[in-house]
Amino acid sequence: MESDLEDQRDHTSARDALDAIGNDRGRVGDRMSAETWWAAPAQGFAAALLVAGPFAGLQSAWLLFLASVLVSVGVEVFFRKRSGLSISRPAGPRGRALLTGLIFLHLVSLGVSVMLAVMGLRGWILAAAAIAGIYTALGGVAYDRTYAAEVRRAR
């Protein structure tokens, strides 16, 4: 008789714990989505700075690279302060695929930018940088939404 009562309490407390975890996941997803409005454009700006580096000349490109790194780190620090979240890796397979795709596009864009600088087509570097900034900002929004959805669904 006593063991039936204990099983009932264990089942109830386990259900309560799972419900609390589900609520926490929902709050994390909401916090992640709430910060996208400023983080995604800032990340796009950092990517544009990175790709625009060769526009300054191959000897001075490190200045724009440094500025890009500083903006990226600043976005991360500010995001952590505002949201209370620290994102160390994608939450699931869709986020991982999206992040891998963005990294690949950054490498291709940087390669194109260097190639344009070597060819003397410096004006086109700014176009490549603008495109990189736009797809990074849009990709950042998509990643944040995907991350939030994967955190909410995780089991």
**pLDDT tens-place string over residues 44-75:** 999 999 999 999 987 888 999 999 999 999 99
Q: For residues 57 and 4, give the distance between their C-alpha atoms in angstroms, rounded to a whole number.
A: 77
- Which residues, at least 6 apart from 75, have a Cβ–Cβ distance to it below 8 Å? 39, 42, 43, 46
- Which residues, at least 6 apart from 9, have a Cβ–Cβ distance to it below 8 Å? none
Q: What is the pLDDT of residue 116?
A: 95
Q: Of 29-43, 115-129, 140-154, where does mean pLDDT reach its minimum?
A: 29-43
106-126 pLDDT per residue, tens: 999 999 999 999 999 999 999
Q: Of 28-37, 96-105, 117-126, where does mean pLDDT reach its minimum?
A: 28-37
Q: For residues 135 and 96, give the distance between their C-alpha atoms in angstroms, rounded to a whole number.
A: 17
pTM of the full structure: 0.76
